[in-house]
Amino acid sequence: MDISHVTAGFSGAGQEPAPRPLWRRLAPPLLAAGAGIATLVVLHVRDPHVEGSYGLCPVYALTGVYCPGCGGMRSIHNLTDGRVVDALQSNLLAVALVVAFAVFVVDWLIRARRGLGWRLPRLSAVTVWTFFGLLAVYSVLRNTPWGTWLAPV
pLDDT at 12: 55
Alpha-carbon distance values, 85 to 55, 65, 114, 139, 150 (Å): 25, 23, 37, 20, 12
pLDDT at 74: 92
pLDDT at 153: 76
**148 φ/ψ angles, rounded to the nearest 5 degrees:** -60, -25
Measured between alpha carbons, how far apart are the two ends of the chain, in Å? Answer: 79
pLDDT digits (tens, 9 = 90+) for 82-112: 999 999 988 989 999 999 999 999 999 999 9
pLDDT at 23: 81
pLDDT tens across the length of the chain (153 residues) = 555 555 555 555 556 666 778 788 889 899 999 999 999 999 999 988 888 788 888 888 899 999 898 889 999 999 999 999 999 988 989 999 999 999 999 999 999 988 888 888 788 999 999 999 999 999 999 999 988 888 887
pLDDT at 11: 56
Q: How far apart are CA 132 and CA 126, in angstroms?
A: 10
Say what angle helices 22-45 and 72-80 make with each other, to 10 degrees.
100
Full DSSP string of 54-80: S---HHHHHHS---TTTTHHHHHHHHH
Q: How far apart are CA 78 and CA 93, in angstroms?
A: 14
Q: How far apart are CA 73 and CA 43, in angstroms?
A: 7
State the chain's maximal CA–CA distance in angstroms: 84
pLDDT at 6: 54
